[in-house]
Amino acid sequence: MAVRRPSYLAIAVISAIVLVSLYLVATRRDGTPIPSLGAGRVKALRPKLTDDIYNSTLGFEKIFVIGLPSRTDRRDGIVLEAALSNIDVEFIDGVQGKDVPDKAIPTGPGLERMPDPNVGSWRAHINAIQEVVRRNLSSALILEDDVDWDVRLRDQLYDFALSAHALTQPLANSTSSNSAPQYADTTFPDPRAGLPSIPDLAFDSLPATLAPTASPYGDQWTVLWLGHCGMRFPFPPSYHNDNNERAVPKGRVVRAADPTVPQQQHLWTISDPDDLKAQYANHTRVTHHMQDGVCSLAYAVTRKGARQLLLELGLKPLAAPFDIELRWFCEGGGGDAPRGGGGAGRHTCLTTQPSLFGIHLPAGPRKSSSDITDHGDGFQEKAVTRNVRYSVRMNADALMEGRRTDELVDQWPDANEVP
Ligand SMILES: *[C@@H]1O[C@H](CO)[C@@H](O)[C@H](O)[C@H]1NC(C)=O
Ligand SMILES: *[C@@H]1O[C@H](CO)[C@@H](O)[C@H](O)[C@H]1NC(C)=O
Ligand SMILES: *[C@@H]1O[C@H](CO)[C@@H](O)[C@H](O)[C@H]1NC(C)=O
Ligand SMILES: *[C@@H]1O[C@H](CO)[C@@H](O)[C@H](O)[C@H]1NC(C)=O
């Protein structure tokens, strides 16, 4: 009796059916991937060096994380987060203010010793900057240990870099050897030049600029203030006094419909007024020169910038908390307090709103949320990260299990917009 063997055709048909149904099962949840950036990038504006932003130090030479060794909980958190993001970090030990003797704090007439938490924070940041100088690093990103970021951080940084080029790299069509370079922002580098107000640069039609050679983020920056609790847009010229104190270049790169930016009811800032909310639609990101920044959650410095900061904020009289001195360093001159650090000169410091790095508040007693500021008594019911939608920390389980991107949690989902 002849056994009927299945024909090869039948096997092929059955395998195809099996494969197709497996595929359907795998995608049945029909989730759409989380919205990615990149669509608005102009292809021509992709300098090779800028691809280094996708490396393990985000296009900087090193990434330092500042934190007290005793806060092992925070080290655990940031080590895991960095691992899940394929980011390489090194710790710089935080300092308790009480361990810093008076003699070690540069002071001047009329200056009193600041409260211990501010002294400790200042010392820890200066230690990080000192390390950049000592190791002669070309650039470094310095993070506080309670920050969090979006799973799309590298794409966000890439877009930030393209925006930074538009603000500070010479226009590609302007450079002949015998004329001064021209910039898309006519108030850069001299904020007194240019018109009283200059038009926004749209992210999806940025002008062609010369490719940077020193850093993926451009060749002219000193500080990139990427994690903050609030910023203002550059003040209008009418604000500045005769010495042009606190005048910074006015250019803005505006990206509409950035899917990583939460709707405005979810945005958190301590700046008052909140310029971003007052002037732009939902999901808008604006990149500009630093003005009136608060909280040094995350900032990058160049080799030269670190040396200047060590001089101005390390060795000159300490007159204000570190973040305020960093603001003075960027804006130059002015300020209301007796001026110690900061120096008189202005420096090129770029930032973006909303902040790319957000403070992560874990669930638990609020007292543990900061060793500097008082978060009050009481209990943080639910962990949150301010301003970050697809937070790495809040999605740690899913990322570790290799779950699909559409299964990640959007912390700040959109309310339905009224059509
Ligand atoms: C990442 O890129 C930056 C900028 O080019 C470079 O300085 C740094 O060494 C790179 N990091 C790694 C780990 O390759
Ligand atoms: C620091 O780096 C610069 C640029 O690479 C180099 O010219 C200089 O010699 C270095 N200095 C030291 C002390 O290594
Ligand atoms: C150079 O490019 C800028 C921006 O694209 C444009 O506004 C300007 O007119 C150009 N200048 C010349 C000389 O072509
Ligand atoms: C942003 O979206 C929210 C929720 O739909 C809406 O209430 C608000 O008016 C929008 N804001 C702007 C500036 O359009």
| DSSP symbols for 124-148 | HHHHHHHHHHHTT-SEEEEEETTEE
pLDDT, average across residues 144-161: 97
Residue 392 Cα to ligand 4 middle (Å): 26
Note the pLDDT tens digit of each residue in 19-52.
554 444 343 344 567 888 865 566 666 889 999 9
How far is the C-alpha of 70 from the C-alpha of 82, rounded, in Å? 19
Give the whole-angstrom CA distance, residue 92 versus residue 68.
8
What ligand has the least distance to the C-alpha of 137?
A: 2
CA 259 / ligand 4 centre spacing (Å):
15
Q: What is the largest CA-CA distance in the chain?
A: 110
Q: Which of 164, 305, 324 is nearest to 246 (CA)?
A: 324
pLDDT band at 128; cut points 50, 70, 90: very high
Residues 86, 247: Cα–Cα separation, whole Å: 38
Determine the atom of ligand 3 nearest the C-alpha atom of 173: 1
Counting every residue written for the chain, the total comes to 419
| pTM exceeds cut of 0.85 | yes
Q: Where are the alpha helices (DSSP H) in 282-338?
A: 303-309, 322-331
> Comparing C-alpha atoms, which of 304, 270, 325, 290 is closest to residue 123?
325
Ligand nearest to the CA of 210: 3
Q: What whole-number distance in Å separates Cα of residue 303 and Cα of residue 230?
A: 26
Spatial separation of the C-alpha atoms in residues 320 and 203, rounded to whole Å: 36
CB atoms within 10 A of CB 321: 21
Angle at 352 between CA 348 and CA 358, to 5 degrees: 120
DSSP assigned state of 81: H
- From 45, 167, 173, give the residue whose CB has the most ligand 3 atoms within 8 Å, as the site to mutate: 173
What is the share, in percent, of the chain residues with pLDDT greater than 70? 83
Please report, as a single letter, which amino acid is at residue 189.
P
Q: Mean pLDDT across the stretch 100-126? A: 95
Cα(278) to centroid(ligand 4), Å? 12
Atom of ligand 4 nearest to the CA of 264: 1
Question: Is residue 193 a contact partner of residue 186, using CB atoms and an 8 Å limit?
Answer: yes
Tell me, using a 6 A CB cutoff, whether residue 171 lines ligand 3.
Answer: yes
Assess whether the C-beta atom of 173 lies below 6 angstroms from ligand 3.
yes
pLDDT digits (tens, 9 = 90+) for 344-394: 578 999 999 999 999 999 988 876 666 555 556 678 889 999 999 999 999
Residue of 42, 167, 174 best suited for mutating to test ligand 3, as the one with most atoms within 8 Å of CB = 174
198 CB within 6 A, ligand 3: no
Residue 380 CA to residue 370 CA, distance in Å, equals: 13
- Nearest protein CA to atom 7 of ligand 1, as residue: 61
The mean pLDDT value for 390-411 works out to 92
By most ligand atoms within 8 Å of CB, the mutation choice from 254, 258, 261, 264 for ligand 4 is 264
- Residue among 273, 274, 289 at smallest CA distance from 191: 289
CA atoms of 51 and 63, how far apart (whole Å)? 17
H runs (alpha helix) in 41-136: 72-84, 116-134
Please compute the mean of the pLDDT values over residues 304-333 and round it to a whole number.
93
Closest C-alpha to ligand 4, atom 1: 282
Nearest CA to ligand 3 atom 4: 207
- The CA distance from 370 to 54, in Å, is 31
Query: What residues contact 149, with CB distance under 8 A and at least 6 apart?
Result: 81, 85, 356, 357, 358, 388, 391, 392
Cβ < 6 A, ligand 1 pocket: 52, 55-57, 59, 61, 138, 216
The alpha carbon of 276 and the centre of ligand 4 are apart by a number of angstroms equal to 13
CA 315, 226, 407 angle in degrees (round to 5)? 145
For residue 130, the model assigns a pLDDT of 98
What integer pLDDT is reported at residue 22 of this predicted model? 45
Average pLDDT, the chain: 87
Is the C-beta atom of 45 inside 6 A of ligand 3?
no
Q: For residue 161, which of 259, 300, 280 has the smallest C-alpha distance?
A: 300
> Is residue 411 predicted with pLDDT exceeding 50?
yes
> How far away, in angstroms, is 88 Cα from ligand 1 center?
11
SS3 content of the chain, % helix, strand, coil (to 5): 30, 15, 55
